[in-house]
Protein backbone atom coordinates (compact mmCIF):
# COMPACT_ATOMS: atom_id res chain seq x y z
CA UNK A 1 0.00 0.00 0.00
CA UNK A 2 1.33 3.43 -0.96
CA UNK A 3 0.54 6.60 0.95
CA UNK A 4 0.91 9.95 -0.77
CA UNK A 5 2.32 12.85 1.22
CA UNK A 6 2.26 16.33 -0.29
CA UNK A 7 5.33 18.35 0.63
CA UNK A 8 4.41 21.40 -1.40
CA UNK A 9 1.91 22.17 -4.09
CA UNK A 10 4.40 20.89 -6.63
CA UNK A 11 5.86 17.77 -5.08
CA UNK A 12 4.27 14.56 -3.90
CA UNK A 13 6.23 11.66 -2.46
CA UNK A 14 4.99 8.11 -2.00
CA UNK A 15 5.98 6.08 1.05
CA UNK A 16 5.60 2.31 1.17
CA UNK A 17 3.30 1.73 4.14
CA UNK A 18 2.83 -2.03 3.92
CA UNK A 19 4.14 -5.17 2.28
CA UNK A 20 1.86 -7.12 -0.04
CA UNK A 21 1.82 -10.88 -0.49
CA UNK A 22 -0.19 -13.02 -2.91
CA UNK A 23 -0.91 -16.39 -1.31
CA UNK A 24 -1.20 -19.57 -3.34
CA UNK A 25 -3.64 -22.19 -2.04
CA UNK A 26 -0.81 -24.59 -1.32
CA UNK A 27 0.49 -22.25 1.39
CA UNK A 28 -2.26 -23.67 3.61
CA UNK A 29 -2.61 -27.25 2.33
CA UNK A 30 0.94 -28.39 1.54
CA UNK A 31 1.89 -30.32 4.67
CA UNK A 32 5.39 -31.02 3.32
CA UNK A 33 6.59 -27.48 4.01
CA UNK A 34 8.18 -26.78 7.43
CA UNK A 35 6.08 -23.72 8.32
CA UNK A 36 5.39 -24.90 11.91
CA UNK A 37 1.85 -23.57 12.11
CA UNK A 38 0.00 -26.78 12.97
CA UNK A 39 -0.57 -30.46 12.32
CA UNK A 40 -3.49 -30.00 9.90
CA UNK A 41 -4.84 -27.29 7.62
CA UNK A 42 -7.40 -26.10 10.17
CA UNK A 43 -4.68 -25.45 12.73
CA UNK A 44 -2.52 -23.81 10.05
CA UNK A 45 -5.30 -21.34 9.21
CA UNK A 46 -6.10 -20.52 12.85
CA UNK A 47 -2.45 -20.05 13.86
CA UNK A 48 -1.77 -18.04 10.72
CA UNK A 49 -4.75 -15.85 11.57
CA UNK A 50 -3.44 -15.26 15.09
CA UNK A 51 -0.04 -14.34 13.66
CA UNK A 52 -1.26 -11.99 10.96
CA UNK A 53 -4.36 -10.28 12.41
CA UNK A 54 -2.38 -7.58 14.26
CA UNK A 55 -0.20 -6.98 11.20
CA UNK A 56 -3.16 -6.68 8.84
CA UNK A 57 -5.02 -4.40 11.27
CA UNK A 58 -1.95 -2.18 11.64
CA UNK A 59 -1.64 -2.11 7.82
CA UNK A 60 1.87 -3.51 7.98
CA UNK A 61 0.95 -6.24 5.49
CA UNK A 62 -1.69 -6.94 2.86
CA UNK A 63 -2.58 -10.56 2.10
CA UNK A 64 -3.99 -10.98 -1.39
CA UNK A 65 -5.56 -13.72 -3.46
CA UNK A 66 -7.75 -13.94 -6.54
CA UNK A 67 -11.45 -14.94 -6.61
CA UNK A 68 -10.59 -18.22 -8.37
CA UNK A 69 -7.89 -19.09 -5.87
CA UNK A 70 -10.12 -18.24 -2.91
CA UNK A 71 -12.87 -20.43 -4.34
CA UNK A 72 -10.37 -23.26 -4.62
CA UNK A 73 -9.22 -22.70 -1.04
CA UNK A 74 -12.79 -22.48 0.26
CA UNK A 75 -13.55 -25.98 -1.06
CA UNK A 76 -11.30 -27.40 1.68
CA UNK A 77 -13.41 -25.76 4.41
CA UNK A 78 -16.98 -26.29 3.21
CA UNK A 79 -17.95 -27.88 6.53
CA UNK A 80 -15.94 -25.43 8.64
CA UNK A 81 -17.53 -21.99 8.35
CA UNK A 82 -15.52 -20.59 11.27
CA UNK A 83 -12.22 -21.44 9.58
CA UNK A 84 -13.48 -19.96 6.33
CA UNK A 85 -14.50 -16.78 8.18
CA UNK A 86 -10.95 -16.44 9.47
CA UNK A 87 -9.67 -16.54 5.89
CA UNK A 88 -12.29 -14.02 4.78
CA UNK A 89 -11.16 -11.61 7.47
CA UNK A 90 -7.50 -11.92 6.55
CA UNK A 91 -7.41 -12.09 2.77
CA UNK A 92 -8.13 -9.30 0.34
CA UNK A 93 -9.74 -10.90 -2.70
CA UNK A 94 -8.80 -9.00 -5.82
CA UNK A 95 -8.69 -9.44 -9.59
CA UNK A 96 -5.96 -7.99 -11.76
CA UNK A 97 -6.97 -5.40 -14.36
CA UNK A 98 -7.17 -7.33 -17.62
CA UNK A 99 -7.48 -4.16 -19.67
CA UNK A 100 -4.44 -2.30 -18.34
CA UNK A 101 -1.86 -4.86 -17.25
CA UNK A 102 0.85 -5.26 -19.87
CA UNK A 103 3.37 -8.06 -20.36
CA UNK A 104 5.82 -8.67 -23.17
CA UNK A 105 4.85 -10.56 -26.29
CA UNK A 106 8.00 -12.67 -26.03
CA UNK A 107 6.84 -13.97 -22.67
CA UNK A 108 3.55 -15.22 -24.08
CA UNK A 109 5.41 -16.66 -27.04
CA UNK A 110 7.52 -18.66 -24.59
CA UNK A 111 4.42 -19.77 -22.68
CA UNK A 112 2.64 -20.98 -25.83
CA UNK A 113 5.77 -22.77 -27.05
CA UNK A 114 6.14 -24.57 -23.72
CA UNK A 115 2.46 -25.54 -23.82
CA UNK A 116 2.93 -27.08 -27.27
CA UNK A 117 5.97 -29.07 -26.13
CA UNK A 118 4.11 -30.47 -23.16
CA UNK A 119 1.06 -31.44 -25.19
CA UNK A 120 3.29 -33.36 -27.59
CA UNK A 121 5.11 -34.97 -24.66
CA UNK A 122 1.75 -35.99 -23.19
CA UNK A 123 0.68 -37.52 -26.50
CA UNK A 124 3.83 -39.61 -26.69
CA UNK A 125 3.36 -40.66 -23.07
CA UNK A 126 -0.18 -41.84 -23.84
CA UNK A 127 1.06 -43.96 -26.74
CA UNK A 128 3.44 -46.06 -24.63
CA UNK A 129 0.94 -48.23 -22.68
CA UNK A 130 -1.18 -48.73 -25.80
CA UNK A 131 1.79 -50.11 -27.70
CA UNK A 132 2.54 -52.47 -24.82
CA UNK A 133 -1.02 -53.78 -24.74
CA UNK A 134 -1.23 -54.23 -28.51
CA UNK A 135 1.97 -56.25 -28.42
CA UNK A 136 0.63 -58.51 -25.64
CA UNK A 137 -3.16 -58.79 -26.05
CA UNK A 138 -3.25 -61.85 -23.80
CA UNK A 139 -2.17 -59.68 -20.85
CA UNK A 140 -5.21 -57.41 -21.15
CA UNK A 141 -7.10 -58.16 -17.94
CA UNK A 142 -9.18 -55.83 -15.80
CA UNK A 143 -6.38 -55.68 -13.24
CA UNK A 144 -3.70 -54.98 -15.85
CA UNK A 145 -5.82 -52.32 -17.49
CA UNK A 146 -6.36 -50.60 -14.14
CA UNK A 147 -2.64 -50.58 -13.45
CA UNK A 148 -1.89 -49.16 -16.89
CA UNK A 149 -4.45 -46.39 -16.46
CA UNK A 150 -2.92 -45.43 -13.11
CA UNK A 151 0.56 -45.38 -14.60
CA UNK A 152 -0.64 -43.38 -17.58
CA UNK A 153 -2.26 -40.73 -15.40
CA UNK A 154 0.89 -40.31 -13.34
CA UNK A 155 3.20 -40.12 -16.35
CA UNK A 156 0.86 -37.80 -18.24
CA UNK A 157 0.61 -35.47 -15.26
CA UNK A 158 4.39 -35.29 -14.93
CA UNK A 159 4.85 -34.78 -18.68
CA UNK A 160 2.31 -31.98 -19.02
CA UNK A 161 1.95 -30.30 -15.63
CA UNK A 162 5.14 -30.70 -13.57
CA UNK A 163 7.05 -27.40 -13.17
CA UNK A 164 4.46 -25.58 -15.27
CA UNK A 165 1.41 -23.36 -14.81
CA UNK A 166 -1.53 -25.42 -16.00
CA UNK A 167 -4.51 -23.29 -15.02
CA UNK A 168 -5.89 -19.76 -15.30
CA UNK A 169 -5.95 -19.77 -11.47
CA UNK A 170 -2.15 -19.99 -11.36
CA UNK A 171 -1.77 -17.36 -14.07
CA UNK A 172 -4.18 -15.07 -12.21
CA UNK A 173 -2.03 -15.21 -9.06
CA UNK A 174 1.05 -14.27 -11.06
CA UNK A 175 -0.64 -11.37 -12.83
CA UNK A 176 -2.13 -10.08 -9.58
CA UNK A 177 1.31 -10.15 -7.95
CA UNK A 178 2.79 -8.29 -10.90
CA UNK A 179 0.07 -5.63 -10.88
CA UNK A 180 0.23 -5.06 -7.11
CA UNK A 181 4.02 -5.27 -6.95
CA UNK A 182 3.54 -8.05 -4.40
CA UNK A 183 5.59 -11.13 -3.57
CA UNK A 184 3.96 -14.39 -4.58
CA UNK A 185 4.03 -17.03 -1.84
CA UNK A 186 4.01 -20.63 -3.01
CA UNK A 187 5.94 -23.91 -2.97
CA UNK A 188 4.75 -24.85 -6.47
CA UNK A 189 7.89 -25.01 -8.61
CA UNK A 190 6.02 -24.35 -11.84
CA UNK A 191 4.22 -21.34 -10.43
CA UNK A 192 7.43 -19.90 -8.99
CA UNK A 193 9.34 -20.49 -12.24
CA UNK A 194 6.81 -18.56 -14.30
CA UNK A 195 6.44 -15.89 -11.63
CA UNK A 196 10.14 -15.19 -12.12
CA UNK A 197 9.64 -15.03 -15.87
CA UNK A 198 6.91 -12.43 -15.34
CA UNK A 199 9.26 -10.42 -13.10
CA UNK A 200 7.52 -11.09 -9.77
CA UNK A 201 9.26 -11.38 -6.44
CA UNK A 202 8.70 -14.61 -4.52
CA UNK A 203 8.78 -16.20 -1.09
CA UNK A 204 8.58 -19.80 0.06
CA UNK A 205 5.88 -20.36 2.72
CA UNK A 206 8.34 -21.00 5.53
CA UNK A 207 10.25 -17.82 4.66
CA UNK A 208 7.05 -15.77 4.81
CA UNK A 209 6.19 -17.16 8.25
CA UNK A 210 9.63 -16.24 9.58
CA UNK A 211 9.28 -12.78 8.07
CA UNK A 212 5.86 -12.27 9.65
CA UNK A 213 7.12 -13.39 13.05
CA UNK A 214 9.91 -10.83 12.81
CA UNK A 215 7.32 -8.10 12.14
CA UNK A 216 5.13 -9.08 15.10
60 and 95 fall within a common domain: yes
Residue 91: its pLDDT value, please?
95
Domain containing residue 130: 105-160
Number of domains into which the chain is organized: 2
Query: Which of 27-31, 62-66, 130-134 is least confident?
Result: 130-134
Checking if the pLDDT of 201 tops 80, the result is yes
pLDDT tens-digit profile of 140-163? Answer: 677 777 777 888 888 878 887 777
The CATH number covering residue 190 comes to 3.40.50.1010
Where is 194: in which H helix or E strand?
Answer: helix 189-197
93 with 70: CB under 8 angstroms? yes
In a domain, 28, yes or no: yes
Is the pLDDT score of 139 beyond 70?
Answer: no
146 plus 201 within the same structural domain: no
* Contact (CB, 8 A) for 122 and 152: no
Distances (CA, A) of 164 to 127, 180, 194: 22, 22, 7
pLDDT of 17 = 58
| Measured distance CA(155)–CA(104) in Å, rounded | 32
Q: Do 41 and 127 share a domain, yes or no?
A: no
Full DSSP string of 81-127:
HHHHHHHHHHEEE----TTT----HHHHHHHHHHHHHHHHHHHHHHH
Q: What are the φ/ψ torsions at residue 165 (nearest 5 degrees)?
A: -90, 125
Residue 180, classed as helix, strand or coil, is: helix
Do 183 and 137 fall within a single domain? Answer: no
Q: Is the pLDDT at 78 greater than 60, yes or no?
A: yes
Same domain? For 23 and 119 the reply is: no
Is 185 part of any domain? yes
- Structure-derived torsion over alpha carbons of residues 17, 18, 19, 23, reported in degrees to the nearest 10: -150
pLDDT tens digits for range 169-185: 999 999 999 999 999 99
| Same domain (yes/no): 68, 32 | yes
Same domain, yes or no: 113 and 211: no
7-40 pLDDT per residue, tens: 445 544 444 457 999 999 999 988 777 888 988 8
Non-local (6+) Cβ contacts of 95 within 8 A are 66, 67, 172, 176
Would residue 165 count as lying in a domain?
A: no
> Does 91 share its domain with 12?
yes
Residue 132 sits in the same domain as residue 179 = no
Amino acid sequence: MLKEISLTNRFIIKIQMSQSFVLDTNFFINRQRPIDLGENIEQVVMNFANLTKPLVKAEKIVLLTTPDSFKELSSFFEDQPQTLDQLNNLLTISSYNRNQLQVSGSLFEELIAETGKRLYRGLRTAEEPLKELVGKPESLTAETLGQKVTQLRDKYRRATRENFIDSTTDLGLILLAKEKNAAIVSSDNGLLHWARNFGCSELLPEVLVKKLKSLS
